[in-house]
Amino acid sequence: MALVLVLAGVVWGIYHFASGPEWQQFSAAALWETLAKASPAYLLLGTFLTFASYLCRAYRWKAFLRPMKEARVGNIFVATLVGFSAVALLSRAGEVVRPWMIAQKEQLPLSSQLGAWTLERVFDTLTLVGLLGASLWLFPASTAAGEHAAAMMQHFRTAGLVLTILAMGMAAGLALLHYLPQSTETVILWLARPLPQRIRDGIRRALEHFAATLAVIRNARSFLECAFWSALVWLTLLGAYWSAARAFGEPLAGLHWGAMTLVLMASVTGSLAQLPAVGGGTQLATALTLTGLYGVPLAPATAVALTIWVITFLLVMVPGLPLAAREGLSWSRLRSILFPATEN
């Protein structure tokens, strides 16, 4: 069902392009000409910032694990590169590879690393809320001059409201698990009564390990450390997007940081609808935002969308796949991780 929804989203995006006036003026030759003029220096800078973002993720995960043990950032960084390579190849089905590898290399329960992964998503959401809010507040909407700018800006404001509500809900859930772990666990397990006993036992173990992971925010210093690394994760990635746009000159080079923040938000949203290995959602969301919100012609918008996809999604496989082979992560092993025959 999920694959059907992804395909439907990609088909809708293709239809939008094909039926729009921009597509009637689109030229493959113009696209290749734009790609050929890209600045290598800015492309290299974007690549460097993307891998810096992966390293910041590794340091943040190390901070998450500090209540359990003093993990090695090298192990986490390798798992991060391999894990994001799995996501590039398998889309969201590959998300479990990173916590699984960290659990193996640091000899920790997988459920504890799934808890760390959940905590990572909470910090990511909070950080994105902050970035989106700063972009909408600090940079005037008048800079958006595309044909559909007004409607798209309203969509971004709505998305900001939804993300804020989601972030508040996550924060409330974290507070309950942190300060009232037993009561919260009792309520969740009561709600899970219709489920089989095996699944309820898994939920219980996951809640226990997640509650242990929450010890990382036991004081302001620990919380601020995680928030610091979260900010660096997304600011370096935003820098990679900015570098990709600068690589193609005007009119893309004239887009300010606030504009690129909205492009980043659209791209992240589009990444939820990714086809394995070929993407789809990210490229479409990026191109649609650049053309509809900022009036960028379709050829350079498509060039940037493809470049961002390659830099931020595909290039990780260059080191990631050899590292996966070194770690003994074959296709058969990967299948056993993604589709375990039994629940431990």
Query: Phi and psi for 256 in degrees, rounded to 5?
Result: -80, 175
Tokens of 87: 């996501």
pLDDT of residue 17: 54
Q: Is 300 in contact with 34 (CB distance < 8 Å)?
A: yes
Secondary element (H or E) of residue 280: strand 279-280
E strand or H helix at 126, and its extent? helix 110-138
Q: What is the mean pLDDT of each run of 10 residues along the chain (344 residues)?
A: 45 53 60 81 96 97 87 94 91 85 88 84 86 72 56 70 75 74 80 82 74 70 89 96 90 82 83 60 80 81 90 94 86 67 45
Angstrom distance (rounded) from CA 269 to CA 260 = 14
Task: Kindly list the domain boundaries of the chain, sorted by start residue.
Answer: 34-338
Asked if 6 and 285 count as a contact pair (C-beta separation under 8 A), the reply is no
Provide the pLDDT for residue 289. 81
Task: Give dist(CA 262, CA 269) in Å, integer.
Answer: 11
Tell me the residue type at 205. Answer: R
Question: Which pLDDT score, from 0 to 100, does residue 344 have?
Answer: 44
195 contact partners, CB below 8 Å, separation of at least 6: 203
Which pLDDT value is given to residue 329?
Answer: 78
**274-275 and 279-280 as β-strands: parallel, antiparallel, unpaired?**
antiparallel
Kindly report the pTM of this predicted structure: 0.81
Q: What pLDDT was estimated at residue 145?
A: 58
The pLDDT of residue 30 is 67
Give the pair of three-digit tokens for residue 156: 């971004």
How confident is the model at residue 72, as a pLDDT?
92
**CA 43 to CA 217: how far, in whole Å?**
37
| Predicted pLDDT at 76 | 96
Q: With b meaning 16 or more CB within 10 Å and e meaning fewer, what string describes 194-228?
A: eeeeeeeebbebbbbbbbbbbebbeeeebeebbbe
Single-letter amino acid, residue 193? R
- Residue 191: Cβ within 10 Å count: 10
What pLDDT is recorded for position 149? Answer: 62
